[in-house]
Structure 1
Amino acid sequence: MSKALIISSICLALLYASCKNGKSRKPVIRDTSITAVTSFNNLFFDSTRLSAFLKNHSQYENFTAQFHDFYKDRNYAYAWFDSTGLAEQALNFNNLQQNYITSFSDSSIYNPLLDSLLQSIQQNNPKRKPAESQVLETELLLTGQFFQYAAKVYKGSDIDASELGWFIPRKKIDVHALLDSAILYKSAEAYAPQNSQYRRLQEFVQKYSRLSKETGFDSIPALPKSLRKGDSAEVIVTIKKHLELLGDLSSNDGSPTFDTTLVLATKKYQQRMGLTVDGIIGNKMIAELNVPMKQRLRQILINLERLRWMPPEKDTNYILVNIPEFMMHVYDSGKLQFNINVIVGTSANSTVIFNDKLQYIVFSPYWNVPESIVRGEILPGIKKNPNYLAKHNMEIVKSGTVPVIRQNPGGANSLGLVKFLFPNNYNIYFHDTPNRNLFSQSSRSFSHGCIRVGEPKKLAQYLLRTDSSWTSQKIDSAMHLKKEKWVPLKKSIPVFIVYFTAWVDQNGQLNFRKDIYKHDEKMAVKLFR
């Protein structure tokens, strides 16, 4: 490829990648500077042939503009062929597409005509060279398939995410720019979809597809009592078989004895399932082991779909809260710094899935009691006990049929000693809590919708780390004031509140969690109908 064409392609890729969502692009002008001399091959076709192709292949109708723009940029030079025949990038893309179809059992983008043409061309019989019309048909089919593949795998299924409670804006893609990259860089890895989490989770699709056909997963009966190290029972033989197939048990002696190896396997499995990690097998663990592998496979596919919606990964600072995991992950320059246990909303008061920017820390906060709680809890409490407000360190700010009530700062304040604000339409924020004992629970959905933070001081120290005046002592003091103190951050930090029930952790271990808000159930109806 000529240097001029490489530079031109890079500039085009950057141009399209930087386009603002929702804004129309300028019309693409045919680049007549690309000729047989400046291009990497001498294969060109007449523009009228593209229009005829699109007329006969209605499955690519939604990509008509992308087709024309892509080939105008190239002055209608072939992209998938060169003077020697089928180019490397064509084989790379076809392998990528076939792997997707096989791994996900998704034949919706399979094109038998393209498959037949590629097989015929790859036979490379010198006495029967493919006709020019076959080559062009293959060229344009590869482009159309790339557009379909990219739209499906990068963007995801045509689902209204907001119907499923997901309010993080879905990622926008430019299939034209992706195709530029595919042709320019040739390697499939250069434009592999999504982020590192997507790729790590995708690696488990084939394994769980295989496990879903495995015959060794006999149902495990409920236990009359928990099993511990040293116990002996026939059910242990079945449990060991399950853990061996899943990869948690390194070696299976087939005995009914609860030995040290089984303790280690049990702890590993409990960690992956979000259970209490104690090495004791109880009925909660048995329930997880009895989840059918077909259901686990669907769980992986559902979460891969969600990952397609996520914005691209960036090497920046951000906070991510995964609701089913009950965990906050804090990233600095794209690298995980630490995790903090959190408490999220109950199923009746579910925490909203969205993203925003954290802008303020409020030390010693007032709690402005929501009207629903005033009606449902406080007013009935006042009727029973006239000293209810004083007992709970509350005061009426504004009288009325439903008075405006707030709780003053202090150790008993429902928001604890500090809150973290990222102003949003859902009235969701992070805050401390006086009920510290709840963080020891393995399942932590107890709040009215906001997110309670297990280590609020640690989070405050991290957010204020660039300001040397905010010492540990100063933060402690600010958390025990009589009036609240607002501290704006010098630089806001993105916050993502997400919902993933399957993911791969930093140690490469596949994790599953319960579908506490039934979002997976609703999504399964959309994906697997």
Structure 2
Amino acid sequence: MTLSPTRRSTLKLIAAGVAGAMLPSFGAGRADAAVTALKQSIAEAAARDEGLSTFYRKRNYKPVFVGKGDSRRCAALLRALERAGDHGLPVGAYDADGLKAAMKDARTPSDMGRVEVEAAKRMLDFADHMRSGVLDPRSVDNMLVMDVPRYDRASTIDAFAKSNPAAFLRKMAPRKPEYVRLQKEKLKLEKLLARGGWGDKVQAKTLKPGETGGAVIQLRNRLIRMGYLRKSASQTYDAKMQAAVQSFQVNHGLAPDGVAGGSTIAQINQDVQDRLQQVLVAMERQRWNSRPMEKHHIWVNIPDFHVDIIKNGKSTFRSRVVVGKNTSDRRTPEFSDKMEFMVVNPSWYVPRSIVTKEYLPLMQRNRGAARQLQIIGRNGRPVNRANINFAQYNARNFPYSMKQPPSKGNALGLVKFMFPNKHNIYLHDTPSKSLFGQEMRAFSHGCIRVHKPFDFAYALLANQESNPEGFFQNVLRTGQERRVDLREPMPVHIAYYTAWVDAKGQAHYRNDVYNRDSRIFDALSRAGVSLGSVAS
């Protein structure tokens, strides 16, 4: 948003009025009394905010915004609050117009003290939302377990008071390229929404190359408006349209066969406002994770169903993954940790929940069920299942654990990748390869199955072994369970982005597999974030 010269002049006048005109010239005694009254008012207004109270007390209640405060700070703050919508923040929560009016109308020292503290509060709210997000992620979904940094209020306003105000407020936004690219996509979608979106939806279940008709024209027009196809009068699903559909499919996580099948048409028919919501949620997620990423890390994006090894901003390894099923006890959580080691030829120690919910009922019906698993007693030794009366136990009192020894049929496959965490989540191989052919790959109990686990292992070992493949295969051939430590633990980020923009400026969108985006956007809406203003 660009302010007109008239608008800038108005802000300067308001700021000047706050900084100067509020304290008219008095005699020395009356001036001292006014200053004392102003300080008293600031102290009273800030008393319930520990951070602000600490800040003002340390500076003897000298104002930042009013009286002898810096007029630039008022103007910079008002401009920043008015442009908060550019970042998908709740503009109404800062009420720039109300603050401006209060600044203009304040006359007495008491009024000025209240305005001073109100301006400080709104600056701090704005700064906190920009740096750390509007929402507390754990309050939205208990599987959003990332640690979001929140900054000390007293230190923040102290830094603001000592800095160039406009520059300070600009630096509150995440400085990662991913955030900047998302913001550009947001502005682009807002303009499209104001112009009516992408036009008529495609009224067909499936369209194939060579077809003609009204639905093909609808497909052509939407692809043109989306930027996948140059302007054309063609009424046939020709080679150019097929190539455009393939590009669209790549950017939406679909098999790029060039055929507009049901899943492709469903994505093409998404409304602009739906994509805008995804972008706004992605920007909030970027604010939750505003700290710069490590130069070398592992990235799992749940809705994208892929794992990448990222080095200096580029993917050096990529594999399909299967993530947790969309049920309350199986969804893969979002968090960060460090991968410390891998286990080659792993045993599978069956989680207690799976033992009692899945295997115990099977063995109660047939004691020979799940024969591939060993029953383990409390002493850690295998127990002959023929000696167990499974019928006498339930989920609470079943006294045994279960284990699957190393084998090609092991549920964890032949290697697992460990970053010990309280969620008991890790990456691993699997003998069930067929699921990797699905577009939507949410089938596991929560852990992340890797399609190319050996290649993943080689890539991780390349940092410490001259022949990583040979080293791994030698360990594998022993058939014995062995832990292999990573000399340099690798940061792991398990994230959930249904929208992102790549370095080439191309937007990518995915399905909201766990409905987390939907819950986050509902919470943002309750906090005051709105799409309503973009079409005005």
Question: What is the TM-score with the length of structure 2 in the denominator?
Answer: 0.76
Question: Residue in 2 aligned with 1:357?
Answer: 338
Give the AA of the match of 1:231: E
Match of 1:110 in 2: 95
Post-superposition offset of 1:111: 2.5
> Is it true that 1:292 corresponds to 2:271 in the alignment?
yes
> Whole-Å Cα distance in 1 between the matches of residues 472 and 418 of structure 2?
17
1:78 is displaced (CA, Å) by 4.8
Give the CA deviation at 1:337: 3.3
2:305 aligned to 326, 330, 347, which one? 326
Q: Which has the higher contact order (CA 8 A, sep 6+)?
A: 2
1:404 is aligned to 2:401:
yes
* Partner residue, 2:174: 194
Relative to structure 1, the CA distance from residue 204 to residue 188 in structure 2 (aligned partners, 3 Å threshold; closer, same or farther) is farther
Q: After superposition, give the CA deviation of every residue in 1:174-218 in whole Å (9 maximum; x if it has no partner).
A: 345445268535536861412422222122222223333443522
Give distance in 2, aligned partners of 1:202 and 1:151.
Answer: 18
Task: Find the partner of 1:66 among 45, 52, 63.
Answer: 52
CA gap of 1:371–1:208, structure 2 versus 1, over 3 A, is same
Partner of 1:301: 280
Residues 1:446 and 2:423 aligned together: no
Matched residue, 1:220: 202
Percent sequence identity is 27
Q: What is the Cα deviation at residue 324 of structure 1? A: 0.8
* Alpha-carbon distance in 1 for matches of 2:57, 2:250: 52
Amino acid across the alignment from 1:357 = K
- Aligned with residue 211 of structure 1, among 192, 196, 213: 192
What one-letter code is carried by the residue in structure 2 that aligns with 1:294? Q
Deviation, structure 1 residue 426: 1.6
Query: What code does the residue aligned with 1:468 have?
Result: E
- Alpha-carbon distance between aligned partners in 2 of 1:288 and 1:51, rounded to the nearest angstrom: 60
**Residue aligning to 2:81:** 97
What's the counterpart of residue 37 of structure 1?
Answer: none
- Give 1:49's match in structure 2, choosing from 38, 41, 48: 38
CA-to-partner distance for each residue in 1:106-142, whole Å, 9 max, x for gaps? 322123244358899xxxxxxxxx9999999887665
| 2:152 is equivalent to residue 166 of structure 1 | no
CA deviations 1:129-185 (Å, max 9, x no partner) are x99999998876654432121122222234452541211122222345445268535
Q: Within 2, Cα distance between the matches of 1:78 and 1:182?
A: 7
Tell me what 1:28 maps to: none
Distance 1:488 1:46 in 2: 66
Equivalent of residue 504 in structure 1, options 486, 501, 522? 501
Contact 1:80 1:142 in 2 (8 A): no
Q: Does structure 2 conserve the Cα–Cα contact (< 8 Å) formed by 1:416 and 1:434?
A: yes
Contact 1:369 1:407 in 2 (8 A): yes
Tell me the CA shift for residue 100 of structure 1: 1.6
Q: Which deviates more from structure 2 when the two are superposed, residues 330-339 or residues 474-483?
A: 330-339
In structure 2, the partner of 1:339 is: 318
Name the counterpart of 1:480. Answer: 477
- How far apart, in 2, do the equivalents of 1:315 and 1:80 lie? 42
In structure 2, how many angstroms separate the alpha carbons of the residues matched to 1:449 and 1:434? 16
Contact in 1 for aligned 2:347/2:404 (Cα 8 Å): yes
CA distance in 1, matches of 2:75, 2:211: 56
Distance 2:179 2:40 in 1: 36
1:424-439 equivalent positions in 2, closer than 5 A: 424-439=421-436
Over aligned residue pairs, what C-alpha RMSD do you find?
3.6
SS at match of 1:257: coil
Q: What letter matches 2:144 in structure 1?
A: W
- Cα separation, 2, equivalents of 1:182 and 1:55: 20
- For 1:276-326, what per-residue CA distance to the aligned partner results, in whole angstroms no more than 9, with x for missing partners? 122221121111122222222222222222222225114443222111111
| 1:154 corresponds to | 131
Instruction: Identify if the C-alpha distance between structure 1 residues 145 and 449 changes in structure 2 by more than 3 Å, giving closer, same or farther.
Output: same
Asked if the contact 1:315–1:335 (Cα under 8 Å) also holds between the matched residues in 2, the reply is no
Asked if 2 retains the 8 angstrom alpha-carbon contact of 1:331 and 1:338, the reply is yes
1:238 is aligned, of 198, 218, 227, to 218
Cα distance, 1:451–1:81 mapped onto 2, change above 3 Å: farther
Report the Cα offset of residue 344 of structure 1.
0.2
Q: CA deviation at 1:47?
A: 7.3
- CA contact 1:101–1:107 (8 Å) conserved in 2: no
Q: Is the 8 A contact 2:42 2:61 kept in 1?
A: no
Letter of the structure 1 residue corresponding to residue 266 of structure 2? A
Q: TM-score, normalised by structure 1?
A: 0.76
Matches of 1:138 and 1:382 in 2, distance apart? 71
* Of 245, 251, 255, the match for 1:266: 245
Question: Which shows bigger deviation, 486-495 or 339-348?
Answer: 486-495
- Bigger shift: residues 279-288 or 302-311: 302-311
Supply the distance in 1 between the matched residues of 2:458 and 2:52 (Cα, whole angstroms): 49
| Alignment partner, residue 492 of structure 1 | 489
Structure 1 residue 346 displacement after superposition: 0.9
Contact 1:356/1:422, CA 8 A, preserved across alignment: yes
| Structure-1 separation of matches of 2:315 and 2:60 | 42
Q: Deviations over 1:487-519 (max 9, x none)?
A: 222232222212222222233222221111122
Cα distance, 1:433 vs structure 2: 1.2
Cα distance in 2 between the residues matched to 1:477 and 1:385:
39
Q: 1:354 to 1:145 in 2, by over 3 A?
A: same
One-letter amino acid of the structure 1 residue matched with residue 41 of structure 2: A
Whole-Å separation in 2 of the counterparts to 1:504 and 1:54: 47
Supply the distance in 2 between the matched residues of 1:245 and 1:119 (Cα, whole angstroms).
46
Q: Relative to structure 1, is the Cα distance of residues 166 and 456 closer, same or farther in structure 2, using a 3 angstrom cutoff?
A: same
Does the 8 A contact of 1:324 with 1:499 survive in 2? yes
